[in-house]
A and B are shown apart, each in its own frame.
Chain A
Amino acid sequence: MSKQMVISVMSKDRPGIIADITTVIFGLGGDLADLNQSVLGGYFTMILIAEFDNTVTPEDLLAGFSHIDSETKIEATIKEMSKSLETEKEKLPLETYIVTAQGENRKGLVKTMGEFFYSRNINVLDLVTTKEKQKYTMIFQVDLSPISSMNTFRQDLQNLADTENMDLVLQHNDIFMATNEIGIQLHTIIEN
């Protein structure tokens, strides 16, 4: 019998950190499924799903990670899954849009946007933010399925842009796919 675990790891970034973490997983007979990794402000974070034999415990993994040599202690959170997670690539909802928001950096920008979406029952599928000098840029990938009137939504977005003094732009996700993904044939975007 086997089981899945979701493992989240954070540490100061350095060459070899992925090799060290995956060596621990490999040593315990783990089989990697999906993995996401990024580096932000010099800190490495990774979230992954792996399958282990039933005898392997989260404590075994934590013990393995504790032996990894690192400038800061490797912080890990591990969750055992009672039922198998779907790791097949999920299709994006049809009404997937990108909202880009840019404004002078100040506290509470992401919160403002998050509340705007939450109050309309809009799920944020992905979010990337960057700060360059004093300009703060947020890119939200959102599912607008709950929106019944695009006209009203665009107007609400414009009102928010005016009150918060931000540039807010709403475009369908397909536009970005079409203009940036050379390998994708347009009919596959439309039919999906």
Chain B
Amino acid sequence: MLRSDQIMATVEMVQKENLDVRTVTMGINLLDCRQGSVKATCKSVEDKIEEYAHNFVPKCNEIAMKYGIPVVNKRISVTPAALVGAGFDVNDFVLLAKSLDNAAAKAGIDILGGYTAHVEKGMTRSDKALIASVPRALAETKRLCSSINVGSTQKGINMDAVAMMGDTIKKLAMNTADSGGFGAAKFVVFCNQPGDNPFMAGAIHGVEEADVVLNVGVSGPGVIARSLEKIIKKKGRKNLKLDDIAEEIKQITFRVTRCGELIGRQVSRELDVEFGVVDLSLAPTPKVGDSVGEILQILGVDDVGAPGSTAIVAMLNDAVKKGGIFASKAVGGLSGAFIPVMEDAVLAEAVGKGALSIEKLEAMTCVCSVGLDMVPIPGEVDAATIAAIIADEMAIGMVNNKTTAARLIPVPGKKAGDVVSFGGLFGESPIMEVRNVNKSGRFIAWGGRIPAPIHSFKN
């Protein structure tokens, strides 16, 4: 048997620090579902998802029960729908969206991702139709998530697509105005979108993937926060340096990742599905004690957004990657710290206090693993300003050779400081102030492309 102190340390992590596996996401290739008609294609899509996923949720629950570690979310990602529905018009894509929604419901899945187009260099007619369908598709379905990749380090940023994103988000929010613009919470714009990310709303099953794979998202900001509190209490602040803190984060991430991969591999074995990657992300939830913002506070900034916040996120992101990469056989997805405003109670609180601005959040996204995530903004912010915020975020990703994303929610009828709540894992937050509104229209009106940066030419 192992040493008793090792056993008790693990018990503490699992039971008292609420270790869980944040998501197991089944990626399903739908490219072979395209049939001669829209109706036949939709049926083929539903049949294929049912074939692979009918036993997915029960199996995850069974393994979670066996190991005593909850699998919080069971999700499905599919091949970007713009490819599956090549040649479809807007109405056809809405039908496809509804089929995906039905298939998710049948599989007992709450969220399915992959209503997606990759348009970083140019847009096909199908891409344009899919983008145009997004405001209806997400408003008329419950479980569907959509993402559009508008930029990459290799190809630059498609500014025509970025301009369309501003309009799409506005329309989406208006179409779901009775739920506070919730539709926009299911829509995310990417630069360098990975094809194996298991986290929503940006999960897709990339075209480079096998027919079916299982990706796991481990999380655990609460586990890290509690272990940091413990080490600080045990050794005393004066006796610790930041490199000691980084080392502690690495050690904990190692354990968290090993648990996640163990469970993911068991599920994949039981379902006879190829195991993909572990995404080593710190993904907060609105639950008290499950916050990335809280880690920043423990590490020394009184409010998230205060000077030093960016440096702490950089250290956190790096330590999480280092601990996880050693623990896992295959790492992928986003892998790092998420800072989604509405989904993190401490971040939302900082917004309410005026400590965290969009500009500071943007700076922090230079060193976190995703971007401007779950950011509620006033409903009256114009489409060009939203597009310009997205362009800035995409530029960070493009130049820094990393994934960035923007999930902005213009909440209809609300202004800065008002509170919006979506409940559950989507959380709540005061609306963030957007400064310099209506000043970027001429920039967005250019269209065209921002060329890829010089350091992308490595071939």
Known contacts: A139-B7, A171-B11. The answer to whether A185 contacts B259 by CB under 8 A is no
- Would B265 and A187 count as touching, CB distance under 8 A? yes
CA distance A151 to B261 in the complex (A): 24
| CB neighbours of A4 from chain B (8 A) | none
Q: Are B258 and A141 in contact (CB under 8 A)?
A: no
Q: Does B15 contact A (CB under 8 A)?
A: yes
Of the listed stretches B29-37, B63-71, B162-170, B191-199, name the one at the interface; the rest are far from the partner chain.
Answer: B63-71
CB–CB A172/B68 < 8 A: yes
Contact string, B323-342, partner A, CB cutoff 8 A, digits 1/0?
A: 00000010000000000000
A83 to chain B, nearest CB (A): 27
Shortest CB-to-CB span from A41 to chain B, Å, is 16
A179 partner residues in chain B, CB cutoff 8 A = 6, 10, 13, 254-255, 258-259
Per the bound structure, the CA–CA distance linking A175 and B65 in Å amounts to 13
Residues of A within 8 Å of B7, CB to CB, are 98, 100, 139, 176
For A180, what are the chain B residues with a Cβ–Cβ distance below 8 Å?
2, 6, 10, 255
Q: With A and B bound together, what is the CA distance between A175 and B258 in angstroms?
A: 8
Within 8 A of B (CB), among A142-192: 150-151, 154, 169-172, 174-181, 185-187, 189-190
Roughly how many angstroms separate A179 CA and B1 CA in the complex, as a whole number?
14
Q: Which of B4, B15, B65, B265 contacts A190 (CB 8 A)?
A: B265
**Which residues between 2 and 49 of chain B lie within 8 Å of chain A, taking CB atoms?**
2, 4, 6-8, 10-11, 13-15
What's the nearest-Cβ distance from chain A to residue B228, in Å? Answer: 18
Interface residues of A in 44-79 (CB under 8 A from B): none
Interface positions, chain B 54-76, Cβ under 8 Å from A, are 65-69
Contact residue among A130, A151, A154, A185 (Cβ-Cβ distance under 8 Å from B4)? A130
Q: How far is the CA of A154 from the CA of B70 in the complex (A)?
A: 14
Q: Is the CB of A186 within 8 A of B258?
A: yes
Nearest residue (CB) in B for A174 is: B262
Minimum C-beta distance from B17 to chain A (A): 12
A175 engages B269 (CB within 8 Å): no
**Using a Cβ cutoff of 8 Å, how many contacts connect chains A and B?**
78
A66 CB → nearest B CB, Å: 34
Residues of A within 8 A of B69 (CB): 171, 175
- Distance, CA A178 to CA B255, complexed state (A): 8
Query: If A139-B4, A178-B259, A180-B10 touch, does A171 touch B68 (CB 8 Å cutoff)?
Result: yes
Closest CB-CB distance, B175 to chain A, in whole Å? 43
> By the criterion CB–CB under 8 Å, are B1 and A169 in contact?
no
Interchain CB contact under 8 A, B14 and A137: no
Residue from A98, A175, A190 within 8 A of B259 (CB atoms): A175
Contacts of A88 in B (CB 8 A): none
CA distance A141 to B265 in the complex (A): 24
> Which listed residue (B1, B4, B10, B254) contacts A175, Cβ 8 A?
B10
Closest B residue to A98 using CB positions? B7
A172 touches B4 (CB 8 A): no
Tell which of B4, B15, B262 touches A128, judged by Cβ atoms closer than 8 Å. Answer: B4
Residues in B whose Cβ lies below 8 Å from that of A174: 67, 262
The 8 Å CB contact of A186, one of B15, B66, B254, B329, is: B329
B262 and A186: CB pair below 8 A?
A: yes
Q: Please measure, in the bound complex, the distance between the C-alpha atom of A180 and the C-alpha atom of B12, giving whole angstroms.
A: 13
Q: Is A86 located at the chain interface by the 8 A CB criterion?
A: no
In the bound complex, do residue A128 and residue B1 qualify as a contact, i.e. CB atoms below 8 Å apart?
A: yes
Q: How far is the CB of B11 from chain A (nearest CB, A)?
A: 5
Question: Given A141, A175, A181, A187, which contacts B14 in the complex, CB threshold below 8 Å?
Answer: A175
Cα of A172 to Cα of B11 in the assembled complex, Å: 11
Question: Is A126 in the interface zone, CB < 8 Å from B?
Answer: yes
CA–CA, A128 and B5, complex, Å: 11
B266 CB within 8 Å of chain A: yes
CB-CB under 8 A from A176, the residues of chain B are: 2, 6-7, 10
Least distance between B276 CB and chain A CB atoms (Å): 14
Q: Give the complex CA separation of A178 and B262 in angstroms.
A: 7
Knowing A171-B14, A186-B329, say if A137 contacts B67 (CB, 8 Å).
no
Complex: A100 Cα to B2 Cα, angstroms:
13
Given the complex, which residues of B lie within 8 Å of A100, measured CB to CB? 7-8, 11
Quick one: closest A residue to B261, CB to CB? A186
Contacts of B67 in A (CB 8 A): 171-172, 174-175
Closest to A130 in B: B4
Q: Does A150 contact B65, Cβ atoms closer than 8 Å? A: yes
B244-284 with Cβ < 8 A to chain A: 254-255, 258-259, 261-262, 265-266, 269
- Asked whether B11 lies within 8 Å of A169 as measured between CB atoms, the reply is yes
Residue of A nearest to B66 (CB): A172
* Contact of B1 with A171 in the complex, beta carbons under 8 Å: no
| Nearest CB of chain A from residue B41's CB, rounded to whole Å | 37
In the assembly, what is the distance between CA of A21 and CA of B255, in Å?
A: 41
With contacts A179-B259, A190-B269 taken as known, whether A185 is within 8 angstroms of B329 at the C-beta atoms is: yes
Query: In the assembly, what is the distance between CA of A184 and CA of B14, in Å?
Result: 20
The minimal Cβ–Cβ distance linking A49 to chain B, given in whole angstroms, is 19
Question: Given contacts A176-B10, A179-B258, A189-B262, could you give 15 more A-B pairs where the C-beta distance is less than 8 Å?
Answer: A139-B1, A150-B66, A169-B11, A169-B14, A174-B67, A175-B14, A175-B68, A176-B2, A176-B7, A177-B2, A180-B6, A180-B10, A186-B262, A186-B265, A190-B265
Query: Which are the 7 A-B pairs with shortest beta-carbon distances?
Result: A179-B255, A178-B258, A126-B1, A178-B262, A180-B6, A172-B67, A171-B68
Q: List 20 A-B contacts (CB under 8 A).
A: A98-B7, A100-B7, A125-B1, A126-B1, A139-B4, A141-B1, A150-B66, A169-B14, A170-B68, A171-B69, A172-B68, A175-B67, A176-B2, A176-B7, A179-B6, A179-B258, A181-B2, A186-B258, A186-B265, A190-B269
